[in-house]
Amino acid sequence: MIDPDGFRPNVGIVLARRDGSVFWARRARQGGWQFPQGGMNTDETPIEAMYRELAEETGLTEDHVRVLGSTPGWLRYRLPKRYRRTHQKPVCIGQKQVWFLLEFLADDGAFALDQVPEPEFDAYRWVDFWYPTKHVIDFKRPVYRRALEFFEPLLPQTTSV
């Protein structure tokens, strides 16, 4: 589904542990690292799409996470021309995304990256909260920065022992 302006509705997921680190995953067959994200079906709300994408890409369910917040409205990025599929109509020029911040409530044994026939990710690691803004593909950096700036005050607080 592409909107009249050429943007594909999408959801993005920032999965955070109590220590403030975030889930960072390597795209299978491509090698780039990113947050989980994916397109919305025409019959889905953003939160329904988020839970579906979470399950498909990480194997996690609602029981493994707690929603801490979401971005108000859409955050957009344009695809560089080399990534646009001009042979498909309508042409998608970018993504418009609602981002979700989730607190991870389980342990790493809950992850199952192979829940679908062609997994999106083949590896993951936990990184510093701001690490993705410098290491995601360049055209996504402004959206990552805006989402993380919005989410930083909502992060779970580390409890000292």
Specify the pTM.
Answer: 0.92
User: Do the domain assignments include residue 79?
Assistant: yes
Tell me which residue range forms the domain holding 67.
Answer: 7-154
pLDDT digits (tens, 9 = 90+) for 116-158: 899 999 999 999 999 999 999 999 999 999 999 999 999 977 5
Q: Where are the beta strands (DSSP E) in 4-64?
A: 7-16, 22-27, 33-34, 37-39
pLDDT digits (tens, 9 = 90+) for 80-103: 887 777 777 777 889 999 999 999
Copy the structure tokens of residue 107.
């342990």
User: Do the domain assignments include residue 159?
Assistant: no
Mean pLDDT of all residues in 9-23: 96
Cβ–Cβ under 8 Å, residues 107 and 67: no
Q: 31: pLDDT confidence band, cut at 50, 70 and 90? A: confident
- What's the domain count of the chain? 1
Residues sharing a CB contact under 8 Å with residue 84, sequence separation 6 or more, in sequence order: 91, 92, 93
User: Do the domain assignments include residue 12?
Assistant: yes
User: Do the domain assignments include residue 58?
Assistant: yes
Copy the structure tokens of residue 77.
């990025």
User: Do the domain assignments include residue 20?
Assistant: yes
Q: Which residue has the higher pLDDT, 79 or 127?
A: 127
pLDDT digits (tens, 9 = 90+) for 99-111: 999 999 999 999 9
Copy the structure tokens of residue 121.
């990710």
Q: 75: pLDDT confidence band, cut at 50, 70 and 90? A: very high
User: Do the domain assignments include residue 129?
Assistant: yes
Q: Could you tell me the end-to-end alpha-carbon distance of the chain, in angstroms, rounded to an integer?
A: 48
Mean pLDDT of all residues in 52-57: 96
Integer Cα distance of 16 and 131 in angstroms: 13
Contacts 24+ apart (CB under 8 A), 154-159: 154/68, 154/69, 154/101, 155/16, 155/20, 155/68, 155/101, 155/129, 156/16, 156/17, 156/18, 156/20, 156/68, 156/103, 157/18, 158/18, 158/19, 158/20, 159/18
Cβ–Cβ under 8 Å, residues 144 and 76: no
User: Do the domain assignments include residue 103?
Assistant: yes
CATH assignment of the domain containing 114: 3.90.79.10
- Asked if residue 48 has pLDDT above 90, the reply is yes
